[in-house]
Each structure stands twice: as structure tokens, then as C-alpha cells.
Amino acid sequence: KCPSGGKLTVDGGPTVMSDWLCLFDNTFGKDINLDALDQATADMKQELNLPETHKTGVYLTVPHPKISELVFGDYDGDGIDNKILTLEDCVDVYAWYVDLVLEKFNSNNYKNIELKGFFWSNESLSAEYYEQEPEFAELCIKELHKRNTKCVFIPYYQATGIEKAQKIGFDATIMQANLAFKETLQKNPEKMMEDFAKTAAKYHMGIQMEAADGFIYDLKKNGPLFKQYLVSSVKSGMMTDAIHAYYQGAGYGVFYKFAYSDDAYVRWFYDALYKFIKGTLYLPEFKIDITTEVTVVENEKFQGTFDIDGDWSNSEYMLSISKRPKHGIITVVLDEGIYVYRSDRGFSGDDSFTLKYMNPDGEQIEVPVKVTVTPANAVSEGIDESGDSSDVSSEKPKNKPLGKGLIYGIVGLVAVAAVAFVVFLINKKRKK
């Protein structure tokens, strides 16, 4: 709540001019918010050797005025305290604050950030709190366009009025999927995101990528949900053809925690997100290739590989041993993407074991592997006294090549800029 007891968002009680100025002062405070972002961008430019012309784009929020008998203040400078009594008054107060921000931003002469526009604070165009919300939004957007600046709308999933957003004049509408937060949407994440993609395409909207604040404290729940954002966006084309926004909570943010995590699975999300932003993330239908019939010489070992096509996380799916061999030992080395079989000393004949992995949707897949162990003397008998080999080769069997291989996106010194701000890729091609 504000010092007056009201709220700057559309819900809650009315506010007064001093509440708005409190937000204004905080936005432009020394060493915080915009000032801190300017400094952080300067550091990033130096670390990454970016051109001096590089700037971080910023979108700022304008509070939502409310019609009320409460005295607001002298926002127009005529010496008389005003009340907000009409739709026109609401628009005037909105424009007053925009002008205040534009003037201050320009006078501060930031070298590393630029004001791209303003963020519409309401997450729907519903009349629940303000019956003239659509008309109010349209008039405010016109005021912004007069000032050669843009307005971005980020409604929640299936919010009231999303079908009107383009006609009203929003420069970009980016719908929240809300999959990370609403349990009702988590019953069938894949189907829900398919529906999301269809709605977004119909109304020319982008997608907000969302990670819950406590992501790393419940990886079993949150990991697959965020992965569904990535998978569905890649599959539907939203990765390359839609505008993106990003929600990662407060403080350092979840993406920061991704980057500095010692857990390979958590770190994978940072690397995947980096590729997603670049438009290069490759997530085809999930499949692990494993050789199912192998031959090994007695007392020798067989080293096979398991290969995941695309940028899937190897450590998450935890290839494991479902059934161990009767006449040997089997070891899985996840980090190296290999499994090793060695027969018992002196054994030759048939053996088998079963490996198991889990699909992204949770399905358990078992892969039986048949092993033929040939006697060691069968190899030695194939070598004559001169050392030349006959038809029987002593070379250890090798696993056949298995596709593209697992790609680990090792990203050096790349940061997701502006941790506390929503990053908008406005200049990306809109989804048709």
C-alpha cells in the first residue's frame, strides 16, 4: 500500500499525488532502479566488449488513477488541488505522470539505458474495477503515441479484453501463460500450452516466460513446468516469431540462480534460456539412442554411449540400471554419456541387462540390451605365428555412431540483463 493507504494498481483504494511522486522518486533514486541498471549495463558492456552504442531498453509503469471524491493534488500546476472525477481526469493525470517521467529521464542523460515506452499496469481490460477500462486504455495509448513512445500490455492467461488489445492500439501484447503459478493449469501442461499458442497466434500476442520464485526449492515440480514453456515455444514457433517477456521474481531473480547453480540440471535452464533468447534452442521429440545388441570379448569391457538428440538436459533423465546382468557388471556414467559392461572373469556366452530412462512427460522407458561374450581363445586362435590376423578380428567392438550428440550450451560471461526488470524484445518479428 501507499503512504495514503491506497494502491497504485487498478484494485484497491484511490491514491493521492504524493503517492505517485513517491514512486517517481524511487524510480529515479541514486544507485537504485534506473541508476543501478545504467551502471550494471556499463559493466556488462565492458565485460562483453559490447559497442558503446549498446543500451538496455526500459519500460516503466504508470500508476492507475481512480475516480474518487478524494482530493488528488495540483497536478496541472494551476494552484488548485484537483479531484479525479471523470474519464478525462484519469487521462490527464496519466499524461501528467508520463511527461514527468520523460522529462526526468531525458535530463538524467543516461549513457547505457534508453526509455522505450510504458507498461500498462492492469493485467486485463475488465470492467471489474473500472467500467471504462478499454476506453481509458485507448485514450492513454493515444497520449503516449503523441509523445512518440510505446505501450506494452501483459495480460494474464485468457484475460478479459485480449481480443481488443490490438484494435485499442497497444504496440505489443504479451500474454502470461501462468503455468508456473496456477495448479488448475498444471494438470496437463502440454495441452494447456498448445491452447496458449493457438490463442496467442489468433490475437497476435507474445509469451511471458515465467519461473516461480521458489523454483530451485521444488525442482521436481518447477523444472518440468518451465521446460514446458521452452518446449512449447520452440514447437509452436513462438521462440523465433513472437515477442517475449520474462518473469523471474524479485531480488537477484531465478535466472541469476540458474546461472550460478552448481547443480547441472539447474544450470541447464540458464543455458537453454540463453539459446531460447538467441532463437537457437533445439528440442526435437525426445529420444535416447542406445545400442541394444553388443558383442564383447571375454575379460574385456564394452563401452557404449547413450545419445540425446537436441539440447535436452542429460542429467535430468537419469539413465539408470533397471536390471543388472547375471554374468557381469554394468556401470552408467551420466556426465560422460556412457555405460560400461564387463563380463565375469572366465565367462562366455549370452548375457543381458536393462537400462531405464524417463521421458520429459514422466513416462518410464526400459531398454533391454543383449550381450554376447565371445571366448578369449576364439580370438587368439585367429592369429597365426607371424602375427597376421585371420577372419576373426581382435579389435574391441565399438558402438555405432548415434546422431548429433548432446549439446551443452556452455555460455561464458553472458548475463540476462536487467534482473529486476521485464525484458521485452519488441523489435522481434510478430507472430502472424
Rg (CA), the chain: 30
Q: Which residue carries 509523445 as its cell?
A: 147
pLDDT value at residue 306: 80
Kindly indicate the confidence band of residue 132, based on its pLDDT and cuts at 50, 70 and 90.
very high
The highest-confidence range among 90-94, 263-267, 289-293, 390-394, by mean pLDDT, is 90-94
The residue-averaged pLDDT of 142-162 equals: 98
Cell of 154: 501483459
The residue-averaged pLDDT of 173-197 equals: 96
209 or 388, higher pLDDT? 209
The residue-averaged pLDDT of 282-295 equals: 87
Whether 399 shows a pLDDT value over 60: the answer reads no
Kindly indicate the confidence band of residue 407, based on its pLDDT and cuts at 50, 70 and 90.
very low
> For residue range 9-55, what is the model confidence (pLDDT) as tens digits?
999 899 999 999 999 999 999 999 999 999 999 999 999 999 999 99
Whole-Å CA distances, 296 to 70, 145, 344, 368: 86, 73, 12, 16
Whether 387 shows a pLDDT value over 60: the answer reads no
Q: Of the CATH numbers 3.10.450, 3.40.50, 2.60.40, 3.20.20, which one belongs to the domain with range 17-278?
A: 3.20.20
pTM: 0.78
- Say what percent of the chain tops pLDDT 90: 73
pLDDT value at residue 80: 96
CA-CA-CA-CA dihedral for 82, 85, 88, 94, to nearest 10: 60
> For residue range 336-376, what is the model confidence (pLDDT) as tens digits?
778 999 999 999 999 999 999 887 766 788 999 999 999 98
User: For residue 169, what are the contacts with CB-CB under 8 A and spacing of at least 6?
Assistant: 138, 141, 142, 145, 151
- Please give the CATH number for the structural domain made up of 288-374: 2.60.40.3450
Whether 398 shows a pLDDT value over 50: the answer reads no
Cβ–Cβ under 8 Å, residues 89 and 15 = no
> For residue range 236-276, what is the model confidence (pLDDT) as tens digits?
999 999 999 999 998 899 999 999 999 888 999 999 999 99
Kindly indicate the confidence band of residue 411, based on its pLDDT and cuts at 50, 70 and 90.
very low
Domain ranges of the chain: 17-278, 288-374
The residue-averaged pLDDT of 118-131 equals: 94
Kindly indicate the confidence band of residue 279, based on its pLDDT and cuts at 50, 70 and 90.
very high
The b-or-e profile of 69-83 (16+ CB within 10 A means b, else e) is eeebbebeeeeeebe
Kindly indicate the confidence band of residue 201, based on its pLDDT and cuts at 50, 70 and 90.
very high
Cell of 226: 518451465
* Average pLDDT over all residues of the chain: 87
